Chain A
Amino acid sequence: MQAYHFGGGKARWVPYLLLLPGMLLYVLIALGPSIGTTFFSFTNATGIRGAPVDWVGLDNYNEFLLMGQASRDNLAALGRTLIFCFFVTTIQFALGLLIAVLVNKRVKGTNFFRTLYFMPVILGAVIQGLIWSLFLYPLGGPMAKILEFFGTSSEFFGGQPSEAFAWVIAVQIWANMGTTMIIFLAGLQTIPKEMYEAAEMDGASGWQTFKNVTWPLLTPSVNTNLLLNIIGSLQAWQLFLVLLGYRNGTQVLGYLIYAVGFGQTSGSVTSSFRQGYAAAASIVLFLLVLLLGSIAQFFLNRRERRILG
């Protein structure tokens, strides 16, 4: 609790009062329903109101994590989620930073490049997917032609699971790098020009300036971006839906939850809605995201305190 300067008595309640609407919305729309999900995860709920809902204890968790080959398949999907998270986070972070630094330079046309790189973000997963399905059209599409020129070929999204998976990672990075770039750019622009001037006067090289001025002062943006990328990529699945469908060897947890929750695991059959089971799976994903997110948060905070005091 920090010293409050804007008066005591009744005036002390003003920040609480103004904070209330946002808090209420949050509890209503996010927190409340999520607690509901936790509750559902211990039942055999189908999501149909009026249908009997029985308390099944840890059955859903047991089935998801321990029962038969299906549980090993689930764990494989979990592993795949981590692989996806690792590649997307690292590549997107590095590219976003590189591009942000470059488009922050005083060279002509930076505005054009910024706009272009950010553009996919505004399109949404469905359209990103459509655009890439077209660009990676295997029967004489542009990328097929390029690969042909280099004497190779690819089945793209229709290829082997690992290949299709790699293409989804590429599209995911293409689609979201703009956000990372913008957040870095916002951070870069808060760094006063005098700092760079001072560094230049001190004769620092480009790399030294980056290392000693840019990088430490970017800390808030670094934190935001890393957290967003980790969490976002752990939860991302829409591109898998749009580009691949529910295919063996490519499922990630988020997609798995949606598919079992809404009876879409087999492509053409509408099976039962296993929302209790799906809820248990989403709690597992939640714990995973929470764990990785908290670890990242812990180290980032420590680093921030060290640098910015």
Chain B
Amino acid sequence: MNINKQTKLIVDLDKKPQSVMKTRGKINWGKIGIYAVLIIFAIIYAGPLLMLINTSLKSLPEFMKSATSVTTKLNFDNFVDAWEKANFPRYLTNTIIYTVSATLVFIVTAVFLAFPISRGYVKGSKIILSLFLIALFLPPALIPQFQLMLRLGLYNNPIGYILLFTINPIGITILVNYIKTIPRELDEAAALDGCGYFRFVTKIIFPLIRPAIATVAVLHAIGIWNELILPTIYLTNKDYYPITRGMIVFQGVYGSNWPTLAAAVLIMIMPMLIIFLFLQRYIISGLTQGAVKG
């Protein structure tokens, strides 16, 4: 394949005199170094989260007395309190509906955008790509966007809300870049075999760029999941609220009660964490199976 040829060429150009064998000891030192760096970063990353969990299990007086002490007993009252105070199941369902449907619409439209742009199969590909690149820089246009949605009758309407999340210039850029790594010869070969455009994109390109799609979909879904400003503006009916609204209740009511707030935060991030832990195997390990090999 094209990319293999290229990369082999680079290696050939840089051929260096062979230094015979690596010693075992050197490798081990390398490993220790790797682990040292990874563990230092793990502490920076896990520390704040552990602090959150620890706090959520304490009572308020305990926290006031000593913020850092490790909790002595498992006090789940904060979780009960948080769960009772917010309508989490309903909000959670809404958030999942918004996230899944907007991501699906986005991915489907994005692939049909990114492929011909990347390949130059439509007139003005470069202009279209520049348009999307410019969109990366565009200022947030809250007010004009709101007026538009209002006139289209999409205010306080889940469909309108979902539509707001069906574009993502960053996602398009990633897909375009990724498709570039897939050799053009493939298109030619498929066409010679009598494969149509739609079938080629859905049957061959889709699976080939699965890793990029997974990455883009997750990044996109995270943005929808965490959106706080748009639901405040576009959704006024309680039945439509996403889960980020549940968080607002907590910041307002429990602003200074760190233990309960911590419990609410944990409840709120739990579903996304689980989904992520489940998906990340697919995103990252899926890559190893080899996007290039198909």
Interface residues of A (CB under 8 A from B): 1-2, 4-7, 11, 14-16, 18-19, 21-23, 25-26, 28-37, 39-40, 45, 47, 49, 98-99, 102-103, 105, 107, 109, 111, 113-127, 130-132, 134-135, 137, 139-142, 145, 174, 179, 182-183, 185-186, 189-192, 194-195, 198-199, 201-206, 208, 212-213, 216-217, 220, 223-224, 227-228, 231, 257, 261, 275, 279, 282-283, 285-286, 289-290, 293, 297, 308-309
Q: Which residues of chain A are within 8 angstroms of B136 by Cβ–Cβ distance? A: 227, 231, 289, 293
A103 adjacent to B20 (CB under 8 Å)? no
Please give 6 more A-B residue pairs, beta carbons under 8 A apart, in addition to A19-B113, A126-B244.
A36-B147, A115-B280, A126-B226, A134-B55, A213-B10, A289-B137
The A-contacting residues of B in range 186-204, CB under 8 angstroms, are 187-188, 190-192, 195-198, 200-201
CB nearest to B14 among chain A residues: A212
Q: Which of B34, B49, B197, B225 contacts A15 (CB 8 A)?
A: B197
B14 adjacent to A182 (CB under 8 Å)? no
B191 adjacent to A6 (CB under 8 Å)? yes
User: How many Å lie between the Cα of A114 and that of B281 in the bound state?
Assistant: 10
Q: Would A198 and B8 be within 8 Å (CB), given that A126-B247, A186-B215 are in contact? A: yes
20 contacts between A and B (CB under 8 A): A6-B200, A15-B116, A15-B121, A26-B135, A36-B145, A37-B139, A49-B147, A117-B41, A119-B273, A131-B49, A189-B211, A190-B287, A195-B8, A198-B11, A202-B16, A202-B18, A224-B177, A227-B173, A282-B140, A309-B6
User: How many Å lie between the Cα of A98 and that of B37 in the bound state?
Assistant: 9
Binding-face segment, B73-81, B83-91, B257-265? B257-265
Q: Which of A134, A220, A285 contacts B177 (CB 8 A)?
A: A220
Q: Which residues of chain B are within 8 angstroms of A183 by Cβ–Cβ distance? A: 174, 215
Q: Which residues of chain A are within 8 angstroms of B261 by Cβ–Cβ distance? A: 130
- Indicate if B212 sits at the interface (CB-CB under 8 A): yes
- Indicate if B222 sits at the interface (CB-CB under 8 A): yes
Write the B143-177 contact mask toward A (1 if CB under 8 angstroms, else 0).
Answer: 11101100000000000000110110110011001
B141 adjacent to A212 (CB under 8 Å)? no
Q: Which of A125, A293, A309 contacts B137 (CB 8 A)?
A: A293
B6 adjacent to A124 (CB under 8 Å)? no
B122 adjacent to A33 (CB under 8 Å)? no
Q: Which residues of chain B are within 8 angstroms of A227 by Cβ–Cβ distance? A: 136, 173
B268 adjacent to A139 (CB under 8 Å)? no
Q: Which residues of chain A are within 8 angstroms of B196 by Cβ–Cβ distance? A: 6-7, 11, 14
Q: Which residues of chain A are within 8 angstroms of B45 by Cβ–Cβ distance? A: 116-117, 119-120, 174
Give the interface centre of B18, B41, B147, B276 by most chain A CB atoms within 10 Å.
B41
User: How many Å lie between the Cα of A135 and that of B68 in the bound state?
Assistant: 9
B191 adjacent to A5 (CB under 8 Å)? yes
A232 to chain B, nearest CB (A): 8
Interface residues of B (CB under 8 A from A): 3-4, 6-8, 10-11, 14-20, 30-31, 34-35, 37-38, 41-42, 44-49, 51-52, 55, 66-68, 109-110, 112-113, 115-117, 119-123, 125, 128, 131-145, 147-148, 163-164, 166-167, 169-170, 173-174, 177-178, 180-181, 184, 187-188, 190-192, 195-198, 200-201, 211-212, 215, 219, 222, 225-226, 228, 244, 247, 251, 258, 261-262, 265, 268-269, 272-273, 276-277, 280-281, 283-285, 287-288, 290-292
B205 to chain A, nearest CB (A): 12
User: How many Å lie between the Cα of A142 and that of B44 in the bound state?
Assistant: 12
Q: Would A192 and B4 be within 8 Å (CB), given that A2-B119, A223-B177 are in contact? A: yes
Q: Which residues of chain A are within 8 angstroms of B167 by Cβ–Cβ distance? A: 22, 25-26, 29-30
A26 adjacent to B132 (CB under 8 Å)? yes
Q: Which residues of chain A are within 8 angstroms of B219 by Cβ–Cβ distance? A: 121, 179
| 6 nearest CB pairs, A to B | A124-B226, A36-B144, A282-B139, A5-B191, A22-B109, A33-B141
B280 adjacent to A118 (CB under 8 Å)? yes
Q: Which residues of chain A are within 8 angstroms of B281 by Cβ–Cβ distance? A: 111
A113 adjacent to B269 (CB under 8 Å)? no
B92 to chain A, nearest CB (A): 15
User: How many Å lie between the Cα of A28 and that of B251 in the bound state?
Assistant: 34
A108 to chain B, nearest CB (A): 9
Q: Which residues of chain B are within 8 angstroms of A121 by Cβ–Cβ distance? A: 219, 222
B177 adjacent to A40 (CB under 8 Å)? no
Q: Which residues of chain B are within 8 angstroms of A102 by Cβ–Cβ distance? A: 34, 37-38
Q: Would A190 and B181 be within 8 Å (CB), given that A113-B42, A116-B46 are in contact? A: yes
A275 adjacent to B143 (CB under 8 Å)? yes
User: How many Å lie between the Cα of A145 and that of B294 in the bound state?
Assistant: 52
User: How many Å lie between the Cα of A125 and that of B227 in the bound state?
Assistant: 9
B131 adjacent to A26 (CB under 8 Å)? yes
User: How many Å lie between the Cα of A262 and that of B273 in the bound state?
Assistant: 33
Q: Which of A37, A111, A125, A203 contacts B20 (CB 8 A)?
A: A203
